[in-house]
Structure 1
Amino acid sequence: MSEPVLPKPVRIAGIVFASLLGAAIIGSIAALAWIGTRGAAAYGHLRAAETTVHAVIDDLSDPTSAAGLIDDLAADTGAAHDLTSDPIWAAAERVPWLGPQLEAVSTIAAAADDIATTALPPLADVASSFSLDDFRPAGGAIDTALFESIAEPARIGADSVAAAAASVGHLDGNLLLGPVRDAVDEVSGLLDSSATATDALARATELLPPMLGADGPRDYLIIFQNNAEWRSLGGLVGAMALIHTSDGTMEMTAQASASGDFPKYSEAVIPLSDEVTKIYGTRPAQWMHNVTQLPDFSLSGQIAREMWLREMGTEVDGVIAMDPVALSYLLEATGPITLTSGDVLTADNAVQLLLNDVYKRYPEPADQDEFFALAAASVFDALSTGAADPATLVQALGRAGDERRLLIWSAIADDQDVLTGTTLAGGLPETTRQTARMGVYLNDGTGSKMDYYVTADTTLGWESCTLDADGRATGQTTLTLTLTNTAPEDAATSLPDYITGAGAYVQPEGTARTVAYIYLPEGYDLTTATVTGSNGFGGGFHDGRQVLTFSSDLPPGESVTAVIGVQAPEPAAAAVIAEITPTIDAEVPSTVKSSCDPG
């Protein structure tokens, strides 16, 4: 049978289609070869850039050290960006399955190149003219003009890194192959850390000059929290100091003791909302000891400021809180300090000396507070005279801030705006689209210093975790809190009354009473709530967050465990973080995180 003869137009169409198909196949092969070759080259540049990026970010606290690495970084990121942004690559990003992998590579390359060419060069330019040693006090004053000179490039850098982090963060990990997804996760984490560091630098350059009195004299109240007697933000307030700043100079002009200089007020010194008083009563605003029982330092700061005004007559411009663990970090920068008492205060012994040994040595609270004041004044003197190593000091302050052991509230609205949203602000846990946050706040109920011996172990985990196409999570997040009294079995007789509380509130002596406040993420539902060895939960609501409370009495060697399950009513953040009261143990994290990973 002869082959049928097709109408001419159909034959022409068939020939054209076959030709186009052949061209498409050949073009696809060529494109794949092109993409493969350029992708391999881009990969090499990105790996080289990755090594350099780690070195640059490690040196962000000292821009001078990072400056020499930037040219090498820019050369590699620029080459990787060029190799992954041509028309053929862009077209291939629309191909199913393959496209998301290519988009991930090109996005990472573009993000890295933007940082190398936009964020870091301005910092390098200003860094080339000075080093961190220039920030040492000279003649008793810090040159605030140095901070002002890097404020603009620091903000440019911070905004660029934040934009790069956002671009990588928007990639859909569900569409990526395992190795590509792992690479994206690694780069995303690196960029997030870098964004935090550069934003902190930008905020510091804006905040420090006015705080140091560049625009006129300032007064700041420093309150020292005692982690041996827990409060939500760290510990009971004991010793205090007033710092006066002017034109870059710092002077300690007054010291006081919460025990000896502040009464119990008959009513709250500032108005508290009905929500707050339902949970905490008015005690946080009646006792200086208790101001940090509220887990919102903007409230604690206002209360402490008002109490100081009433008793000392000075209206301070802000309040700063720190604890002995933060003080130990500062001692890493100053080195050992010999006190007039003959004690040598070091980074290794500060916590034990200030939070335990002092109570065994001095039975009177006034003597204890005097020792605290002596230690604080000695460290401040070392800092204000330039005895601290600047690079180590920056790292110490950064660590203390990250762990929420250093908190700042400002009565100056512009300054407070700069602080808002940072760990330094000590605000309530904020839930965002990317991260849900809980709070685990611990308070002593013994009227003693037994919390030196109490440990708090907090974990987070997911159950029935799934992710949708937008990377939003569904499933229950479970928080487990275990408190343990590690005091010696004979604590009632072997420890001083001031440590055990002498049975004033709890019997027998040596028992540790803890009151816990668990803040759920905003908008989340409570699914599980159990606690062993307790009378169950109380609670309320605080600024849109459900709060669960419970108390426990633990004899030496005993533990209590609370299990709290929460779930969003619809797909929500794939990461959950719990912020925890900082304790005496620097190795115990003050935040724990869990991310939904269906595996």
Structure 2
Amino acid sequence: MQRSSSPAPPHRASTVFAAVVLAVFLVGIGWTAWIGLRGASAVQHLRSAQTTVDSATTDVSDPAGAIERLGAAATDTSAARGLTDDPAWRAAEILPWIGPQLAAVRIVAASVDDAASTAVRPLGAAAAVLAPGALRTPDGAIDVARIAAARPAAADAAARLRTAADAIAAIDRAPLLGALATAVSSTVDSLDHAAGAADALERTTTLLPRMLGVDGRRSTLLLFQNNAEWRSLGGVVGAVAEVNAESGRLALVAQASSADLAAFADEPVLPLADDVRGVFDTRPARYLQNTTQVPDFAVGAAIAREMWRRTHGDEVDAVVALDPVALSYLLRATGPVTLPTGDVMDSANAVPLLLDEVYRRFADPHEQDVFFQSASAAVFTALSAGRGDSTALIQALTQAGAERRLLVWNADAADQAVLDGSTLQGALPVSDDTRTTIGVYLNDGTGSKMDYYLHPRVAIGWCADGLATLRVSLRNDAPDPSTLPPYVTGGGEYGIPPGDALTGVYVYLPPGAEVVDRRTSSDGDVTPGFAGGTHDGRTVVKWSVRLSPGHAGVLDLDLRMPMTPHLDVLATPTRDPREKPEAGACPSAG
């Protein structure tokens, strides 16, 4: 007879259940502890790697050392990736709350490791090709073929860094803990910066050989802006020069002043769009000095090129604008230069010498122009002779470009497209779904050089949901007007008392922005006025303010517009590099 099975005694069943629960609990604790320990170790490796990468990307004076440090960072990123890329880790990613945190750490570790492990090699290759001292041929020409040879490696590095940055940017940060969300954002910013630098290197190695005549003779018109008399992109164009390049050899073929190109006052040399005329009239197309008044360098560069063609008969291939501050950066690379007057111009005295001392020394504008031309020619001669370190020269050009003091326009559309999206184009502010950008452009209305003594401050920040405040303040720090030459004060020629400064502030709002309120204040005799218009779909608010020495004026604009992760502001570069626009906290709160 078969014996029937009977259930286990209650005490035995409960013992088995308790044992199973305990085992599961212990496994869960062990799994959690294992995940936690690996995660903590991975984060430590990532932090170490970020410290290494930050030091490498900020020290541009030693490219070889920076590449070596980036290679060292790959050891940490590889370790972090190994700690977070296994089946157990991925299984935990399905859990509520903790899962998104683990997934974010894994994606960051993998993406950063991809960047550090695969982008360093092409960056190293590009750095080797562009090594200091290797960019000159035996006869002293710039080695344009060598520069062009670095392009494939630069393009490879830029693509890999961009892929890594995009992968991390795609992480949904909403469920992340605050510290982790901040770390993800910081990593995206670092990779964006690195990708941007590699992208700039690719563009440089693409376009520079062409502009230096690798395919035949190329001509460039140089415009020297004067920050003592503001225009939107920097200052009035006071001196110009034509430079020819062929196979990396440079030649200064002609120089002139704005007075030499003054034959177009009655009729624009090129047509201006209706919206541009509505804001600036036709002055930018009639006076060389005003070609930088429109805050879109493509407009003014084409006009300057046409003025030069009509005056000198040469149709240049490109137009480049720079200011005395940019020249001072170049002098850091070349070292001091001696002018025909005996003056020794260096990086420290270039700005005050060209924007202040020259007017105290020479009352005749023609003599001033001769001085400006000799100064620019001296710097050009030093550069074309190969003086200075190539790394320092790259630093100087990079800084000038980032500060929008170096602007480039090519008549060939394909060449110009290489610069799309870069600061070198001097284009109108661009806004999209992720970035809101406002432009603040300063223009002198006094007919003087008083802007040497004016100090602006531009700041913007979100003050409420969908509401931002832009604050523009101007201060006139000029000395007693009687101590200044009439050419500097304007001598009252345009109805402005000597020493006073009349400034037109043009605020370019992003498409769709609405002015909710505007307020002005001052501590002196200020007569503000408002005007407006549109330019390329952007509302333009113009504030005119006149300031006597020792006085200041402030404009606050409250703006309603869709919030985006990034808020930026562009502003006219002044003679003081420290006067940079700020985007951050609500200006009304500070």
Q: Tell me the TM-score normalised to structure 2 length.
A: 0.92
Give 1:137 shift: 5.9
Question: Greater CA deviation, 166-175 or 515-524?
Answer: 166-175
CA deviation digits over 1:115-156, x for unaligned, max 9? 112212122235446622112464231111211221011011
Distance in 1, matches of 2:25 and 2:322, equals 68
Give 1:174 shift: 3.9
Q: How does 1:481-496 map to 2 (within 5 A)?
A: 481-488=472-479, 490-491=480-481, 493-496=482-485
CA deviation digits over 1:237-282, x for unaligned, max 9? 0011101000111111110111234323322211111111111100
- Within the candidate set 514, 518, 521, 2:510 is matched to 521
SS in 2 for 1:243: strand
Query: What is aligned with 1:567?
Result: 560
SS in 2 for 1:292: coil
Q: How does 1:221-236 map to 2 (within 5 A)?
A: 221-236=221-236
SS in 2 for 1:268: coil
AA aligned to 2:534 is F
Q: Does 1:500 align with 2:489?
A: yes
Query: What is aligned with 1:547?
Result: 540
Q: CA 1:308–1:18 in structure 2 vs 1: closer, same or farther (change >3 Å)?
A: farther
Question: Runs of 5+ in structure 1 lacking a partner?
Answer: 1-5, 9-13, 465-473
Distance in 2, matches of 1:335 and 1:37, equals 55
- Within the candidate set 492, 498, 504, 1:509 is matched to 498
Give 1:7 shift: 12
CA deviation digits over 1:565-584, x for unaligned, max 9? 2222x4x3132111000001
Q: How many residues align?
A: 572
Q: CA 1:583–1:20 in structure 2 vs 1: closer, same or farther (change >3 Å)?
A: farther
Q: CA 1:144–1:23 in structure 2 vs 1: closer, same or farther (change >3 Å)?
A: farther
Q: CA 1:20–1:210 in structure 2 vs 1: closer, same or farther (change >3 Å)?
A: farther
Q: How does 1:417-436 map to 2 (within 5 A)?
A: 417-436=417-436
Q: CA 1:180–1:582 in structure 2 vs 1: closer, same or farther (change >3 Å)?
A: same
Q: Does 1:402 align with 2:383?
A: no
Contact 2:126 2:154 in 1 (8 A): no
CA deviation digits over 1:273-310, x for unaligned, max 9? 11111111000010001000000001111111111111
SS in 2 for 1:331: helix
Contact 2:227 2:451 in 1 (8 A): yes
Question: Greater CA deviation, 57-66 or 139-148?
Answer: 57-66
Q: Does 1:479 align with 2:466?
A: no
Q: CA 1:399–1:128 in structure 2 vs 1: closer, same or farther (change >3 Å)?
A: closer
Distance in 2, matches of 1:153 and 1:279, equals 45
SS in 1 for 2:233: coil
Query: What is aligned with 2:162?
Result: 162
Query: What is aligned with 1:255?
Result: 255
Query: What is aligned with 2:80?
Result: 80
Contact 2:84 2:106 in 1 (8 A): yes
Contact 1:226 1:323 in 2 (8 A): yes
Contact 1:513 1:551 in 2 (8 A): yes
Query: What is aligned with 2:42?
Result: 42
Contact 2:528 2:543 in 1 (8 A): yes
Distance in 2, matches of 1:129 and 1:220, equals 26
Distance in 1, matches of 2:443 and 2:503, equals 6
Q: CA 1:525–1:85 in structure 2 vs 1: closer, same or farther (change >3 Å)?
A: farther
Q: CA 1:17–1:220 in structure 2 vs 1: closer, same or farther (change >3 Å)?
A: farther
Distance in 2, matches of 1:595 and 1:410, equals 38
CA deviation digits over 1:73-93, x for unaligned, max 9? 222211211211212222323
Contact 2:60 2:395 in 1 (8 A): no
Output the aligned Cα RMSD: 2.3
Distance in 1, matches of 2:304 and 2:429, equals 22
AA aligned to 1:317 is D
Q: CA 1:7–1:526 in structure 2 vs 1: closer, same or farther (change >3 Å)?
A: farther
Contact 2:229 2:236 in 1 (8 A): yes
SS in 2 for 1:132: coil
SS in 2 for 1:342: coil
Q: How does 1:15-414 map to 2 (within 5 A)?
A: 25-59=25-59, 63-128=63-128, 131-136=131-136, 138-414=138-414
Distance in 1, matches of 2:489 and 2:16, equals 93
SS in 2 for 1:513: strand
Q: Does 1:580 align with 2:571?
A: yes
SS in 2 for 1:175: coil
Query: What is aligned with 2:582?
Result: 592
Contact 1:222 1:243 in 2 (8 A): yes
Contact 1:575 1:595 in 2 (8 A): no
Q: CA 1:126–1:274 in structure 2 vs 1: closer, same or farther (change >3 Å)?
A: closer
SS in 1 for 2:32: helix
SS in 2 for 1:78: helix
Q: CA 1:499–1:400 in structure 2 vs 1: closer, same or farther (change >3 Å)?
A: same
Distance in 1, matches of 2:474 and 2:116, equals 47
Question: Greater CA deviation, 266-275 or 166-175?
Answer: 166-175
Off by >6 Å, runs of 4+ in structure 1:
14-23
Query: What is aligned with 1:467?
Result: none
Give 1:37 shift: 2.1
Q: Percent identity?
A: 47
Q: CA 1:61–1:301 in structure 2 vs 1: closer, same or farther (change >3 Å)?
A: farther
Distance in 2, matches of 1:129 and 1:549, equals 49
Question: Greater CA deviation, 141-150 or 317-326?
Answer: 141-150
Give 1:369 shift: 1.1
Contact 1:483 1:559 in 2 (8 A): yes
SS in 2 for 1:332: helix
Give 1:431 shift: 0.5
Q: Tell me the TM-score normalised to structure 1 length.
A: 0.91
Distance in 1, matches of 2:16 and 2:211, equals 76
Distance in 2, matches of 1:66 and 1:345, equals 32
SS in 2 for 1:392: helix
Question: Greater CA deviation, 51-60 or 426-435?
Answer: 51-60
Distance in 2, matches of 1:494 and 1:298, equals 39
SS in 2 for 1:117: helix
SS in 2 for 1:79: helix
Query: What is aligned with 1:463?
Result: 463
Distance in 2, matches of 1:163 and 1:594, equals 28
Question: Greater CA deviation, 279-288 or 386-395?
Answer: 386-395
Contact 1:503 1:509 in 2 (8 A): yes
CA deviation digits over 1:480-502, x for unaligned, max 9? 001111112x21x1111000001
Distance in 1, matches of 2:59 and 2:87, equals 37
